[in-house]
Amino acid sequence: MQHYSVTSLVKNAIHHHEKWQKTWRSPELKSSYDVVVVGGGGHGLATAYYLAKEHGITNVAVIEAGWLGGGNTGRNTSVVRSNYLFPESAKLYDFSLKLFEDLGQELNFNVMLRQAGMLILMHGRHDLEIMRRNLNAMHMNGIEAEWIDTNEVAKLARGINLSDEARYPIHGGILQKRGGIARHDGVAWGYARAADRFGVDIIQQCAVTGFDISNGAVRGVQTTRGLVKTNKVAVAVSGHSSVLADMAGFRLPVTSQTLQACVTEPLKPVFDVAVMSPMLGVYISQSDKGEVVIGGGLDNYPSYGQRGNVATLEHTISGVVELFPQLSRVKLMRQWGGVVDIVHDSSPIIGHTPIGGMYINCGFGTGGFKATPVGGWTLAHTIANDTPHELIAAFTLDRFKTGAFIDEMGASGIAH
Amino acid sequence: MKWVLLVLRIKRRKGCEMMQVLCPWCGVRDEDEFTYGGPAHITRPTSGGDAPQQDVSDEKWASYLYEKDNVKGIARERWVHVHGCGQWFNLARDTVSHKIHCVYKMGEPCPVLTPEGDPKNRND
Ligand SMILES: Cc1cc2nc3c(=O)[nH]c(=O)nc-3n(C[C@H](O)[C@H](O)[C@H](O)COP(=O)(O)OP(=O)(O)OC[C@H]3O[C@@H](n4cnc5c(N)ncnc54)[C@H](O)[C@@H]3O)c2cc1C
Ligand SMILES: [Zn+2]
């Protein structure tokens, strides 16, 4: 596998860029593996990569029904941050952000991380109270974030409507400077390439259709290309988790819903920071290409349709135009939806399942892109050692029986 | 109300249409008049006979409260016409195509559906 560097760029320029190697192989599916990862999104690919790199388990296949990153990994609005409320979440997401900070080097692939900050807007007295509390919690958890006033908001989010006449006037906000955005498919491709380098087989256009289970333990995976023998399976299929669980004969506390996003035509650079308004139910950033990337809340009923409805889009757009009135005349270029896995307490489920040898990563719902590195890191550890990694000890399926929820809904209250 | 224009522009786009829901009392209305109220036909667990509810196991409570079938395909759901008559009702809806196959009253069993999802014999 070719290393990407200035030298390789120069060498390839001499050959008119016609001799670049394929980024990863497209091998045949073998009849057995030590570990089969179901789902070639960021979390599945990261799991395979860390299994190989950190635990020396390289006889691994990643089986993807469509194409790499074609699920939510390639559909998200790519915000990364770690400003969560509870200590368990703060630790998890901050570890992820730290892995993100070195990811380009680690994978030898540019994931275009831009830590220009994540700004949460404060619109009134009620926001003020809850956000001061959240900020204190962040500080207690060792997450750096600061309170900023309207002058600083004006500097960071140029063009934002700071008028007193606004329907929900802005009075300040919380800034996490290490927050920002990264290139979502870059993350999937980077992990895929790096995992492939260790010998992981990446199999696209192959769907898992069932599991071979005997005596409560997994023995194999049925796919559209035949049976694969394995004693360890990692399921990382986000919105399709219930479908896979059903194949294995158990149920999950997950509801699949649509989360949609849209982008405008590209504009000159206006602001670097990612801005979220919990009050208006929107968040917005500007991509490196100049498009304004817009996200909002969930479509409020179950769906596997991978497309959004107008009612939610209307709500989201009205919020954006409230924040940036000058965008009202800008055209939308694309709008799309992803099937996200919503869990009662807005926290992920990572670790063991009721089936022996079967592990799951799901429930990240509207906010799992930022957790791609840590999701892979912790699941790989859990599989290799058959015990939960300490960072995810609180995020097991069991919490639905014990009631030990980690309710992050209040902290975010919005998709992100 | 500048955003109205923007939204109207979006609405005209193909493949991005409102789901239409048939309220048994008011007729067909746009989806934004309704709210989804969870899966239908979920029964509260008992520990059998007259045994007190606190004897129901944590597993059973967890399953009742949080676990979902979350089917990809035709699901039985409860909806309420919240910005209309305020009535609750059930429907069988395809979670992929969003097609609503039948609407029936609360407390009624779901009509038997053909594999395509059409009601076989209405349960009136
Ligand atoms: C519009 C939108 C905006 C979002 N914004 C953000 C954000 O700003 N920040 C953030 O942190 N998170 C965000 N998220 C959430 C984030 O995208 C997800 O939590 C994350 O990408 C999940 O990654 P994954 O690898 O688990 O799943 P996915 O990327 O969905 O990958 C799962 C894969 O499994 C495959 N699969 C399914 N069934 C099978 C089968 N039977 N056999 C084989 N393969 C199968 C699918 O094809 C898919 O490729 C957003 C999501 C959406 C939809
Ligand atoms: Zn009605």
As beta bridge partners, residue A229 has A32, A220
A22's enclosing H/E stretch is none
Q: Quote the pLDDT of residue B7.
A: 41
Q: Give distance in angstroms: CA of B86 to centre of ligand 2.
A: 6
| A179 to chain B, closest Cα gap in Å | 29
* Tens digits of residue pLDDT in A197-249: 999 999 999 999 999 999 999 999 999 999 999 999 999 999 999 999 999 99
Q: Where do the domains of chain B lie? A: 10-41+73-105
Q: 3-state DSSP: chain A helix, strand, coil percent, rounded to 5? A: 35, 25, 40
Question: Are A264 and A46 in contact, with CB atoms under 8 Å apart?
Answer: no
Provide mean pLDDT across the span B28-55.
87
Q: Given a cut of 80, is residue B34 above it in pLDDT?
A: yes
Q: Which of A33-37, A259-263, A306-310 has the lowest mean pLDDT?
A: A306-310
Contact at CB, B3 and A308, closer than 8 angstroms: no
Euclidean distance between CA atoms A361 and A244, whole angstroms: 12
Query: What is each CA distance from A6 to A9, A12, A13, A16, A183, in whole angstroms?
Result: 5, 10, 10, 15, 21
pTM, two decimals, is 0.94
* Tens digits of residue pLDDT in A120-179: 999 998 999 999 999 999 999 999 999 999 999 999 999 999 999 999 999 999 999 999
Residue B8 contacts A, CB cutoff 8 Å: no
Contact at CB, A303 and B72, closer than 8 angstroms: no
Q: Quote the pLDDT of residue A414.
A: 52
Contact at CB, A310 and B17, closer than 8 angstroms: yes
- Close Cβ partners of A386 (under 8 Å, ≥ 6 residues apart): none
With the CA atoms of A263, A265, A268 and A272 taken in that order, what torsion angle do they form, in degrees rounded to the nearest 10? 0
What structural domains does chain A harbor?
A: 32-78+185-253+347-412 (3.50.50.60), 89-180+256-343 (3.30.9.10)
Average pLDDT of chain A? Answer: 95
- Pocket probe for ligand 1: among A275, A299, A366, the residue whose CB has the most ligand atoms within 8 Å is A366
Helix, strand, or coil (residue A307)? coil
* Tens digits of residue pLDDT in A349-379: 999 999 999 999 999 999 999 999 999 999 9
Q: Which of A152-156, A311-315, B38-42, B118-122 has the lowest mean pLDDT?
A: B118-122
Q: How confident is the model at residue B8 (pLDDT cuts 50, 70, 90)?
A: very low
Question: Are A239 and A303 in contact, with CB atoms under 8 Å apart?
Answer: no
- Pocket probe for ligand 1: among A38, A45, A72, the residue whose CB has the most ligand atoms within 8 Å is A72
May I ask the CATH architecture of the domain B10-41+73-105? 2-Layer Sandwich (3.30)
